[in-house]
């Protein structure tokens, strides 16, 4: 896959359950509440942070990807990623992963519209620079 290294590391962290979600901080007695800092309505799990928090939903709504995450709200995030990797094109899946990375890293400082517009341009710039050097 043609992804920036930081996105690859992010995906690795997803599959190795090493993203710092609030639920884990709460379980380790580091946080006082397991709830999402953004919406405060659900526990912040990887699924919630990347797909089902209202901010994440707004980003997915603004994205131009042919995905429907509403059908997957009870699925583990690993299943969501594996299902999408099999049902959308490689370039769409790469963009999907960059959207996930952008949601994770832009959740507290950027609007959903900023995140939705940043992800495709970030990936396009990376892939253009990489192609230029090959």
Domain boundaries, given as residue ranges, for the chain: 5-132
- The alpha carbon torsion through 17, 125, 129, 107 (nearest 10 deg) reads -30
Say if CB 52 and CB 62 are below 8 A apart: no
Cβ contact 99:60 at 8 Å: yes
Consecutive sets of 10 residues in the chain, 134 residues long: mean pLDDT of each?
Answer: 95 91 90 92 92 93 88 79 92 96 82 92 93 82
pLDDT at 73: 67
Q: What is the pLDDT of residue 71?
A: 66
Phi then psi dihedrals of residue 109, to 5 deg: -120, -20
pTM of the complete model: 0.90
Q: Could you give the C-alpha distances from 49 to 81, 89, 125, 128, 133, in angstroms and in order?
A: 14, 24, 26, 29, 35
Which pLDDT score, from 0 to 100, does residue 77 have? 87
For the packed helices 77-87 and 90-106, what is the interaxial angle rounded to 10 degrees? 150
Largest CA distance in the chain: 49
């Amino acid at each position: 896959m043609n992804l920036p290294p930081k996105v690859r590391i992010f995906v690795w962290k997803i599959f190795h359950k090493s993203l710092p979600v609030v639920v884990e901080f709460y379980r380790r007695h580091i946080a006082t509440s397991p709830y999402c800092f953004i919406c405060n309505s659900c526990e912040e799990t990887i699924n919630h942070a990347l797909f089902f928090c209202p901010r994440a939903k707004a980003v997915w709504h603004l994205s131009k990807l042919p995905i429907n995450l509403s059908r997957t709200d009870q699925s583990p995030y690993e299943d969501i990623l594996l299902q999408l990797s099999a049902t959308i094109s490689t370039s769409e899946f790469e963009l999907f992963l960059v959207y996930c990375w952008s949601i994770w890293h832009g959740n507290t400082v950027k609007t959903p519209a900023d995140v939705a517009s940043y992800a495709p341009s970030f990936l396009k710039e990376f892939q253009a620079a990489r192609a230029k050097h090959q």
